[in-house]
Amino acid sequence: MHSRDRGKAGSHKPVKKTVTSWISYKPKEVEALIVKLGKQEKSASEIGLVLRDSYGIPDVKTFLKKSVTKVLKENKLGKKLPDDLYSLIERDIELMKHLTANHKDMTAKRGLQLTESKIKRLVKYYKKKGVLDSKWMFDRHRAKLLLE
């Protein structure tokens, strides 16, 4: 977003939206796996990676007709913050720790500014969608408490 990079390289989800034939699991079993991993306090993206790499389930949404996040919320295991916002806040806190030790690192300072702008943009989006409370604000000191 903030770089001069061009192109769309990287991994992409398969275009085909059908359930693959090699999956030997039933939908109830996959939901049980998601709940088990959710109780281990893994995020939705980590659960998706574990299901893909260890269990051979390429796309949970096409298999279950609902997302990992929705399954976690149905079982009251989801986090208060969305996954992407949570990881950005984690990155912001780590950058701040680094900057307190290395106060002359201007590249890290720029990274911190970019991360904070991404957080503000994402918070604005989630407030508009109703995921976050309209009075929710990003505060680094409170964020440290949220992540612990």
Nearest alpha carbon to residue 68 among 102, 100, 31:
31
- Prediction pTM value: 0.77
Each residue of 74-88: pLDDT tens digit? 999 888 889 899 999
Of 1 and 100, the structure prediction assigns the larger pLDDT to: 100
Separation between Cα atoms, residue 45 and residue 91, nearest integer Å: 16
Q: What is the pLDDT of residue 2?
A: 72
pLDDT confidence tier of residue 10, bands split at 50, 70 and 90: confident
Contacts 24+ apart (CB under 8 A), 62-67: 62/17, 62/18, 62/19, 63/19, 63/23, 63/27, 63/30, 64/27, 64/30, 64/31
Q: For helices 27-39 and 44-55, what crossing angle results, to 10°? A: 130
pLDDT band of 57, cuts 50, 70, 90: confident
User: In the predicted model, is pLDDT for residue 92 greater than 90?
Assistant: yes
Contact indicator for 138, 85 with CB cutoff of 8 Å:
no
Q: Are 47 and 70 in contact (CB under 8 A)?
A: no
- Mean of pLDDT values over 9-16: 71
The Cβ-side half-sphere exposure at 23, using a 13 Å CA radius, reads 20
What was the pLDDT predicted at 148?
63
pLDDT of residue 25: 87
pLDDT tier, 66 (very low <50, low <70, confident <90, very high otherwise): very high
Q: Residue 108: is its pLDDT beyond 80?
A: yes
Q: Residue for token digits 């298999």?
A: 63
Q: Which of the four pLDDT bands, split at 50, 70 and 90, describes residue 129?
A: very high
